[in-house]
A and B are shown apart, each in its own frame.
Chain A
Amino acid sequence: MNAVPVNYYIILSAILFTIGALGVLIRRNALVIFMSIELMLNAANLALVAFSSANAQLDGQIFVFFIMTVAAAEVAVGLALIVAVFRTKKSIDVDQINVLKG
């Protein structure tokens, strides 16, 4: 396999991160927003693993492991919240969740 500059990996991860952030900003479905956040975390993970291999340091991979655990915990709470909101509001469109003036 030919050598790939680390820069390329970082550019890829930056693109994925931006797509994720864009998803949070332009989508209105709470579930899709949440998926976009997962994509952002994933982009960060890719950058961490790339740096980890480039520096021959394992620390980056350990961090990725922790991020995955935290993401799992977040998903458990987040989906419980979304289900609870749906039960009272019958909608998960963040524009219709607007009792508060926002």
Chain B
Amino acid sequence: MNQADFYSLLPIIVLTTWSALLLIVDLFIDDKKKGITAVLAAAGLALTMGLTLSQTGQTVIGFNGMVILDGFSTFVNTLLLFSGLMAISVAYGYIKRRGIERGEYYSLILFSIVGMMLMAQARDLIVVFIALEMLSIPLYVLAAIDNSNAKSEEAGIKYFLLGAFSGGFVVYGVALVFGATGSTAFAEIAASIATGNAETLLVLAGAALILVGFGFKVGAVPFQMWTPDVYEGAPTSVTAFMAAGAKIAGFSALMRVFATAFPDIAVDIAPVLAVIAALTMIVGNVAAIAQKNIKRMLAYSSIAHAGYILMAFAAFANPALRDDAISAGIFYLVAYAITSFGTWAIVISLEKEDGKGLAIEDYAGLGRTKPLMAAAMTIFMLSLTGIPPTLGLIGKLYLFRVVVEAQFMWLALIGILTSLISAYYYLRVIVIMYMKEGEPETVSESWLTFTWGAMAVLTVVLSLIPASLFAWASGALMK
């Protein structure tokens, strides 16, 4: 082990140490002042983000090829740390209100982010597996952290059983890939497949099982059934983190595995992924129409968005388009993360202590009583639909372009049609806010207001200057 090894993982090492120390420091913080823990956790994330950004543009392979620091990992890690900051910002007042405030809440979020970052940097299937568990275990606990509430516990156990089940698929897939290629390192797997030494059948079966496992994690059809229940039952601040963080990590791992370990079987797998993407978009958007609870509606919406990102994988079949597909995919993840955190912040503002205030009807009259909040919500709903002037539209445009270039016209068509369907239920929220009479009760809490305000501004402003953000995403290449 030498300096380069440490340098390749410096942000992760710092964040791990920080979260372990936070566990100890938290013991000395009075129960009434847990806000200090939140601030310390946020400081750790900000410090790590600074370190990550300082590594921009560098490529280092560390720990005997187990991990890599490259443009892709820097970009994804920055996005993950941003999600962590937002997750703490929406949780700060909410968990106090729900009576579930604990110092460990913040440490668990930090550990989960450590797992996610490790996943984005992994270059070996063993590291992918361990990172997957490291990000999942804190999420299982966080989903069930309100342990006097049956719904939260139910969400925790459902998420756990399905997460462990999908972990089993990943492990078996890795076992088959190892058997076929004799290695778990991405580069060696790719080399073994390219030279034709590998058993194609075993590799395909292994890749399919790994895909099934990650399909569960990101909520792709037909493995989406846990999503609405878990999203509804978990405390809303945890749901917000799950929706953004787990998706970013899951997709970044999928992208790296399929781009660097299985490039030569991408042609065989792309049509399958295209069908999965199409089904995911259709099921997510159609099921969302019938929902009356906003958390469930957003859960189905998150399934639908997973479908849009999966479209990027269809373009993997064409090696020339691979980099474009990856940039479009991570750009969409940025757009989704920003919009979804803003939306969840508003949902949290309207949620009452006893879990009421989550029906879409409860948003009636928001346009009159809280014009700014309603305006922000309008922006988020437009962005989720993909209507200008929002980031969601730009994200969809890049994705559709790459899908069309890859000759998947039918897939792009389904994407556009399902976006039209989604307009119905997103715009319904706007209509209810402005057209219906009602007296919605909201909680004004400065960090929540900051979150939805800042996210609304980002959604609009970044959509006006997409080129610079996209240039950064295009620079986020895998080495």
Interface residues of A (CB under 8 A from B): 6, 10, 13, 17, 20-21, 24, 30, 33-34, 37, 40-41, 43-45, 47-48, 50-52, 54-55, 57, 59-60, 62-63, 66-67, 70, 73-74, 77-78, 81-82, 84-85, 88-89, 94, 97-102
Q: Does B446 contact A (CB under 8 A)?
A: no
Chain B residues with Cβ below 8 Å from A77 are 137, 140-141, 160
Q: Find out whether the CB atom of B153 lies under 8 angstroms from the CB atom of A78.
A: no
Known: A67-B171, A77-B140, A99-B151. A24 touches B165 (CB 8 A): yes
Q: Which residue of B lies closest to A50 (CB)?
A: B179
Q: Does B449 contact A (CB under 8 A)?
A: no
Q: Find out whether the CB atom of B154 lies under 8 angstroms from the CB atom of A99.
A: yes
Q: Which residue of A lies closest to B291 (CB)?
A: A101
Chain A residues with Cβ below 8 Å from B154 are 85, 97-100
Bound Cα distance from A59 to B124, whole angstroms: 12
Interface of B (DSSP majority class):
helix
B300 to chain A, nearest CB (A): 12
Among B147-165, those with CB < 8 Å from A are 147-148, 150-151, 153-158, 160-161, 164-165
Q: Find out whether the CB atom of A94 lies under 8 angstroms from the CB atom of B161.
A: yes
Which of A51, A73, A98 has the most C-beta atoms of chain B within 10 angstroms of its own C-beta?
A: A51
Interface residues of B (CB under 8 A from A): 126, 129-130, 133, 137, 140-141, 144, 147-148, 150-151, 153-158, 160-161, 164-165, 167-169, 171-172, 174-176, 178-179, 182-184, 225, 228-229, 232-233, 296
Q: Find out whether the CB atom of B168 lies under 8 angstroms from the CB atom of A40.
A: yes
Known: A37-B161, A70-B129, A70-B130. A100 touches B137 (CB 8 A): no
Which of B164, B171, B178, B225 touches A78 (beta carbons < 8 Å)? B164
Bound Cα distance from A78 to B163, whole angstroms: 11
Q: Find out whether the CB atom of A57 lies under 8 angstroms from the CB atom of B164.
A: no
Chain B residues with Cβ below 8 Å from A34 are 161, 164
Bound Cα distance from A73 to B147, whole angstroms: 20
B193 to chain A, nearest CB (A): 16
Q: Find out whether the CB atom of A84 lies under 8 angstroms from the CB atom of B232.
A: no
Which of A20, A30, A66 touches B130 (beta carbons < 8 Å)? A66
6 more contacts with CB within 8 A, not counting A59-B184, A66-B130, A101-B229, are: A21-B165, A51-B178, A52-B178, A63-B174, A63-B178, A77-B160
Q: Which residue of A lies closest to B180 (CB)?
A: A51
Bound Cα distance from A100 to B291, whole angstroms: 13
Q: Which residue of B lies closest to A62 (CB)?
A: B126
Known: A70-B130, A94-B161, A100-B154. A88 touches B233 (CB 8 A): no
Chain A residues with Cβ below 8 Å from B228 are 100-101
Which of A47, A60, A62, A84 touches B147 (beta carbons < 8 Å)? A84
Q: Which residue of A lies closest to B231 (CB)?
A: A100
Q: Find out whether the CB atom of A30 lies under 8 angstroms from the CB atom of B184.
A: no
Bound Cα distance from A1 to B472, whole angstroms: 60
Q: Find out whether the CB atom of A10 lies under 8 angstroms from the CB atom of B147.
A: no
Q: Find out whether the CB atom of A41 lies under 8 angstroms from the CB atom of B168.
A: yes
Which of B140, B171, B232 touches A41 (beta carbons < 8 Å)? B171
Bound Cα distance from A78 to B143, whole angstroms: 13
Q: Find out whether the CB atom of A100 lies under 8 angstroms from the CB atom of B129.
A: no
Bound Cα distance from A97 to B157, whole angstroms: 9
Q: Find out whether the CB atom of A44 lies under 8 angstroms from the CB atom of B175.
A: yes
Bound Cα distance from A81 to B150, whole angstroms: 12
A42 to chain B, nearest CB (A): 10
Q: Find out whether the CB atom of B140 lies under 8 angstroms from the CB atom of A89.
A: no
A91 to chain B, nearest CB (A): 11
Which of A30, A43, A62, A98 touches B172 (beta carbons < 8 Å)? A43
B66 to chain A, nearest CB (A): 12
Known: A37-B165, A101-B229. A59 touches B172 (CB 8 A): no
Bound Cα distance from A88 to B176, whole angstroms: 41
Q: Find out whether the CB atom of A81 lies under 8 angstroms from the CB atom of B165.
A: no
Bound Cα distance from A52 to B184, whole angstroms: 12
21 inter-chain pairs at a CB distance below 8 angstroms, sorted by A residue, are: A10-B179, A13-B175, A21-B165, A37-B164, A40-B169, A48-B178, A52-B178, A54-B179, A59-B184, A60-B175, A62-B126, A63-B184, A77-B141, A77-B160, A81-B141, A85-B153, A88-B148, A94-B157, A94-B161, A98-B154, A99-B154
